[in-house]
Amino acid sequence: KEFRNNVKPNWCPGCGDFSIQAAIQRAAANVGLEPEQLAIISGIGCSGRISGYVNCYGFHGVHGRALPIAQGVKMANRELTVIASGGDGDGFAIGMGHTVHAIRRNLDVTYIVMDNAIYGLTKGQTSPRSAAGFVTKSTPQGSIESSVSPVELALSVGATFVAQSFSSDLKGLTELIEKGMQHKGFSLINVFSPCVTYNKVNTYDWFKENIVPVDTIEGYDPHDRIKAMSYSMQNHGLMTGLIYQDTEKKSYDEQVPGFKEQGLAHQDLTLSKEDFAKLVAEFA
């Protein structure tokens, strides 16, 4: 079960994205997948390269569109384990509409956001996860917009699996990705992944000082949506761990009879010459 390939990532040394790559590779092996049973669909950004760095099916899509493609892949071959991945700009700016509706739809896809609170590939502009007041070349006097909270966003639109992690915690992140892949339905895993080149505020040290692991909160119950929302608001959206999981709500897949068998991958798409001519005539 070898999920490593011989492609050398061209991320900057120290970039948080390396840990996410390693965690995906370990999690896939730990849950017993073979490379041909996994597909990773990515958007655009430094994070978008992940689909070429893991030995499995990969599709590097367009900006903000990892989720529609990932859902299409899942619909076409329903036996695949599908991961969608992208940066916070990809998922919470241009792709925000897709993120909200994919969460609501609850199709069995795991969405891993590589959240560095900045646009790294385009050399350091304010992103939807940058805090108000954040100074970059696109907001030289400080951002006047509030940052998106992935946890609160997901909880408010009916997410059935919400987790958050930090690139330095490879073990915890691997376990969360395993749980996300095993969850029946859509799983959102937001990962604080420091951009060491352009984000000099949200550094590894900053996260170590500010994140609040849920297992340090006495009596935390990851099945209580209201309290998860409340704790997240109290802790500025910086909680890590399994924040919320609903194991009762049925996934999209479970509500469609014969879902697995109906995908294109299981259909005989060969056409006889006569049927092809008939099809062409219908469209003529």
Q: Which stretch binds ligand SF4 (CB under 6 A): 7-15, 67-75, 230-238, 244-252?
A: 7-15
- Residue from 5, 55, 125, 197 touching ligand SF4 (CB under 6 A): that is 197
Task: Report the alpha-carbon distance of residue 109 to residue 103 in Å, rounded.
Answer: 9
48 belongs to the binding site for ligand SF4 (CB under 6 A) = no
Show the tokens assigned to 187. 């799983």
Pick between residue 76 and residue 94 the one whose CB is nearest to ligand SF4: 94
134 belongs to the binding site for ligand SF4 (CB under 6 A) = no
116 belongs to the binding site for ligand SF4 (CB under 6 A) = yes
120 belongs to the binding site for ligand SF4 (CB under 6 A) = yes
Size of the site for ligand SF4 (CB under 6 A): 12
108 belongs to the binding site for ligand SF4 (CB under 6 A) = no
Query: Cα 24 to chain center, whole Å?
Result: 11
15 belongs to the binding site for ligand SF4 (CB under 6 A) = yes
The 27-46 site mask, x for binding ligand SF4 (CB under 6 A), equals -------------------x
12 belongs to the binding site for ligand SF4 (CB under 6 A) = yes
201 belongs to the binding site for ligand SF4 (CB under 6 A) = no
- Residue from 38, 50, 195, 228 touching ligand SF4 (CB under 6 A): that is 195
Cβ 263 to ligand SF4 shortest distance, Å: 35
89 belongs to the binding site for ligand SF4 (CB under 6 A) = no
- Residue from 76, 96, 135, 196 touching ligand SF4 (CB under 6 A): that is 196
Sign of CA dihedral 123, 54, 185, 217: negative
Radius of gyration of the chain (CA): 20
Residues that bind ligand SF4 (CB under 6 A): 11-12, 15, 17, 46, 116, 120-121, 195-198
